[in-house]
Amino acid sequence: MRSRSKYLLSIAALIVVLVFAIFAHGNRLATADAVSLKLVGFTNAPNDPSGTVFAMFCVSNCAGYSVRWWGAWSEIEGQPQQLARIGNPGLPQFDGPNHNHTPVLGPGQSFEFAVGSPILAPENGRWRFNLEFSRYALRQRWFDLSFRHRVPVKLGPIVLVDSQRVLSSTNHVIARSEWLTSQ
């Protein structure tokens, strides 16, 4: 009986070591060229009396690993604040009620979406769109799983996923569009 308990204890210790090794290894950062953010063209929403012009962008994962986007914003040249995206439900968007994908892009995947010119941009001002992302490694996958399904983020004193570390902007990379002029 004593040898069986030693065997089970050894197996449990091995599992803990493997889990720790897997989560410790999945900490590599995404590279700046992992995501491509390209301007496709300009459009307007159907049946929109305001005539607002939207920039159509294509986001592509150029890396050999999955990436997850964490945030997006517009900025006006020379102004330090981040501005919310301007969207329209009649145009492709990557969040909101009409989204058709997850925040994760696998290797080689892409999607298109529309962003309106920031309202505060002067008529001849320039603006660009920014997309923040990170490598979608095991640690980030576990974080998403724990958020949606209440799985543990730590086992006793062993922290599997440190949410502050996952969400830290120092672990994220920003893809930026080219500077655009207000339409």
User: pLDDT per residue over 131-157, tens digit each?
Assistant: 999 999 888 888 888 888 888 888 888
Q: What's the CATH class of domain 29-181?
A: mainly beta
Q: Go through 59-98 and write b for each residue having 16 or more CB atoms within 10 A of its CB, e for each that does not.
A: bbbebeebbbbbebbbbbeeeeeebebebbeebbbbeeee
Cβ proximity of 172 and 134 under 8 Å: yes
Domain layout of the chain by residue ranges:
29-181
Which residue positions in the chain have pLDDT lower than 50?
96-98
Ranges of H-type helices in the chain = 2-25, 138-149, 163-167
pLDDT at 48: 75
pLDDT at 23: 53
pLDDT at 7: 78
